[in-house]
Chain A
Amino acid sequence: MTPAFSAEQSAFSQRLTEIVGSASVSTDERVTAEHTVDGLKPFVVVFASSAEQVSQVVKAGNQFEKTIVPWGSGSRQSVGPCLARADAVISLKPMNKIIELDVGNYTVQVEAGMVNRDLHRQLAEQGLFLPFDPFCTETSTIGGELATNVSGPSRAAYGTARDIVLGITAVSPTGDIIHTGGKTMKNVAGIDLGKLLIGSQGTLGIITDTVMRIFPQAEVNRSLLLAFPDAEDAFQVVSRLLASKLTPGSVELVDRLVGHHLEPAGGPPLEENGVLLMVSISGSREDAERHQKDISTLAEENKVDSTVILDGTEVNGIENAYHQAHQSLFTSPSVVQGKASVPLSKQGEMFRAIKKTGSKYGVPVGVTVHGYNGILYTRFDASVADPSGIINDLNGTAAGLDGFFMVEAAPLQFRKNGAVLPPRSDYKLMRLLKNSLDPRNILNPGKLVGGPG
């Protein structure tokens, strides 16, 4: 069924057809409904296959004053503040190729619609690896992941997208193709617009391709799974690791809710209030031996219950299980997913406070922690009596620890009503930037900018 359009909408769709061809424009109910964001259904979906096409589409958006929602796979559309208006969705799905794999320089340039998992698989076949492993779905695209600045366990050793990305090509909100950075390890020419685009949630530009650093796969990859009956002891181990000379690949802590899902992949069983500390080790044989020895000793000194060491393909198994558990528990539509960021030494305290808040409201709150970054992800069912009470409490606790808490993903009504972003002194400047770079407010209006002053 094709709904009735205004003359203006038809003219805009017509223009889109001229740009990408009729096969790549759809006003079909079923297609537009699939691309609904925050309850807003676009009247047209356009599939772009080049930066040039994206540029033309955005120019048309400006000309016809139609708003545009950039779309990777749709997995992280409902995060942050609500979208205000959605006329057209531009899907980058056809832009899913590796542009250049430069092994001698250890960089890869990919189109933004490339699925991260596909990229990982293709790199692995050549003995290479990309230390960018955000908790996303099987279908999440690199462009979407950069736009939302998501990250995963490897950030402990390699940093976030802002450290791994060397260059970005993007289409500005007025339709210009802009290049920032390049394929060199260092680059300080001009203003670093790439940093601005990463995490801008499609409000300042549509990323069309990127160059990222890659690395050869390590000689040894191991995973140490350490079960602690008491969270306190697990966090104690993390503190001592942080003060040591060791350089683990990642350091994750999970509670029983998540830990339970890791058992089939080899994870040790946890007690009711137990915590699983997962340390990945990657490096030379000698490095791995030393890490394993020292970390095991630390764990034993801190009342570890049981220790499992995984090697080779078992490591992939547990990593996949972890990603899947995170995915299914934290990103289901009926869940309020939050994120706390606190100083490293306050992680244990924040963890306990989250659990206590859950008990206070009679709601189980699941938690996973990037133990080398002070980041704690929380999840609870949105159906509970008083989500805003929990959110307020956690805001207060995190602020008291010199950090912050924010709701990332949640059913629409919570993101509409509550302030989902903590207060900051730089929002005004962010709004001015948005207004200046996107004078007609074409790209993702309402998203991100506009938190409390």
Chain B
Amino acid sequence: MIQQSFIKELTGIVGRDNILSSRKDLLAYSYDSTSRQEMPEVIVFPRSTAEVSGVIKAAHRDKVPVIARGAGTNLSGGTIPDRGGIILELSRMNRILDIDTANHRAVVQPGVVNLDLQNALAPFGFVFPPDPASQEMSTLGGNVGENAGGPHCLKHGVTSKYVYGMEVVLSDGEVINVGGSVEDNPGYDLRGLLIGSEGTLGIATRLTLHIIPKPETSRTLLVIFETLENASQTVSDIIGAGIIPGAMELIDKTTCWAIEQGISAGYPTDAEAVLLIELEGLQDSLDRQVRDISEICQKNKVRELRIAKTSAEQAALWQGRRGAFGAIARICPQYIVMDGTVPRNKMVPTIHRVDEIAKKYHLTIALVAHAGDGNIHPLILFDTGNPEEIVSARKAGDEICELCSSMGGTITGEHGVGLEKLHAMFTQFSSADLSAMRRVKEVFDPEGILNPGKLLPPEEDESLHETKEVAG
């Protein structure tokens, strides 16, 4: 339990306007984008690295948990304060410090919202390639915390490819720099280690990001199919033909319908699945890519292939895709978002099995996928008033995790482990794998104050699970 004197000390560090501790305020930070809820003890809004360091030093001394939080849009329970403690909310460190197009570089504070950076880059004709569908809200610090992906990561790769370096506050308050403002920094890749570590190893307080020129032109295709199978086979065939579009998203009928209930984005509501494909690059080569792709679609019994004619049409389709989770939430407030990723040629059988799991538990499972990367987001819908259904939904989620592991894939491609997938970690890793990770955690955070209990499942629980057999 945090004492009043501790809150006073924190107030001294961040100032009275940057700390909250009333019950009403604590409630507002008790959840993220999952369905769990736990109460924090205090919320602080540091505005500088020095303030972050000051807060961490106090927490380190008193062994108080510190949970870094950007916008709280993560889908894994990563910012749930299930052990109380401090929510270190970084949204007030939201300045873009430098845009340096000549060096393909931008320097930002961690609380900058992804889309705000994109908007600031647009006049220069540059982009920051990672574009999580949550980009209107999620912060770059949070993107780094989860190693976020996004539709356009198909062509360009995920967040870790676009971070040169960062300033980090360690668990004892020391400030260091990892990586750098140039490439190939000597020594271990602590930068790579920190990216995706979900706030468990250190707090990023300044990011040096790699930005690139926006592609010359892009074309958005909406491809409509009568079966999910045909749509996912098309994805495999396009990849197999060596075409790497900018993005290739799969959206099923339930989700299309939900999207169209909210806005008119242009999706059909009577087709089993659609692909939203974005081609980008030099204008010289796009016509042929469109031809090649439509041939592949024909082979897979496509119903219709539409090419967005105006940028407004293009934008509407993307707005619909980005709003997919929200749209589902309007028809069913509670659902679990899965994030398994499988080898790209295992998409068809995996989706087939997800369907069987839905039938087995009598659940509706909607589907959205960053299909080109084999990253699927089955959305398991359930009714919170129906205790049996809650149990079924959880079980179905576990089975989907196991399914993705057994297909040679992973339980999470971009959303992170957080609290939600802690136990699924045992399906993917051996106890030797996990103990190596724990050692790294202990080096960075010997007192265990940084987002404790997230990402790595407790060692004690290992005996309850069959960990993955160690291959010879």
Contact = CB atoms under 8 A, between A and B. Distances in A.
Interface of A: 50-52, 80, 102-107, 149, 151, 159-160, 162-163, 169, 172, 176-180, 182-193, 195-196, 198-200, 204, 215-216, 239, 242-247, 283-284, 286-287, 289-290, 339, 341-345, 373-375, 402-404, 406, 421-422, 424-427, 429-430, 432-433, 436-437, 448-449, 451
A173 to B, nearest CB: 10
A375 B183 CA distance: 8
B463 interface: no
A287 B282 CA distance: 7
A195 B161 CA distance: 11
B373 A451 contact: no
Nearest to B237: A104
Contact of A433 (B149, B188, B213, B429): B188
Interface stretch (B47-55, B88-96, B110-118, B415-423): B415-423
B187 interface: yes
B413 A188 contact: yes
A373 B440 contact: no
13 contacts: A177-B470, A177-B471, A184-B408, A186-B375, A187-B341, A191-B193, A191-B197, A242-B104, A283-B285, A284-B289, A373-B184, A429-B170, A436-B442
Interface of B: 100-105, 146-147, 149, 153-154, 157-158, 160-161, 170, 175-178, 180-193, 195-197, 200-201, 213-216, 236, 239-240, 242, 281-282, 284-285, 287-289, 341-346, 370, 373-375, 408-417, 421, 425, 428-430, 432-437, 439-444, 455-456, 470-472
A187 B216 contact: no
B281 to A, nearest CB: 7
7 tightest Cβ-Cβ pairs between the two chains A and B: A195-B192, A104-B345, A216-B242, A186-B413, A176-B432, A245-B216, A105-B343
Given A287-B284, A426-B176, A184 B342 contact: yes
A287 B437 contact: no
Contacts of A204: 188
A108 B424 CA distance: 26
Contact of A159 (B161, B282, B341): B161
Nearest to A195: B192
A404 B436 contact: no
Given A186-B153, A215-B242, A286-B284, A191 B432 contact: no
Nearest to A425: B176
B192 A432 contact: no
Most chain A C-beta atoms within 10 Å of own C-beta, residue among B176, B285, B343, B439: B343
A284 B192 contact: no
Contacts of B344: 104-106, 185
A177 B432 contact: yes
A102 to B, nearest CB: 7
B304 to A, nearest CB: 26
A107 B343 contact: yes
Contacts of B442: 436
Contacts of A199: 187-189
Contacts of B408: 182-184
Contacts of B440: 191, 193, 196, 433, 436-437
Interface centre among B158, B176, B186, B472 (most CB of A within 10 A): B186
Contacts of A192: 147, 160, 192-193, 195-197
Nearest to B409: A184
B213 A159 contact: no
B282 A436 contact: no
Contact of B437 (A190, A286, A422): A190
Contacts of A433: 188, 440, 443
Contact of A189 (B184, B214, B417): B417
A50 B472 contact: yes
Contact of B343 (A102, A406, A421): A102
Contacts of B153: 186
A119 B439 CA distance: 34
Given A50-B472, A184-B341, A341 B414 contact: no
A179 B410 contact: no
B102 A187 contact: no
Contact of B412 (A163, A189, A286): A189
A343 B242 contact: no
A239 B192 CA distance: 28
A185 B412 CA distance: 11
Nearest to A372: B104
A160 to B, nearest CB: 8
A430 B195 CA distance: 16
A326 to B, nearest CB: 16
Given A184-B409, A247-B281, A190 B456 contact: yes
A245 B215 contact: yes
Given A287-B284, A404-B180, 9 more contacts: A104-B345, A195-B195, A239-B102, A343-B102, A373-B184, A375-B183, A424-B187, A425-B175, A433-B443
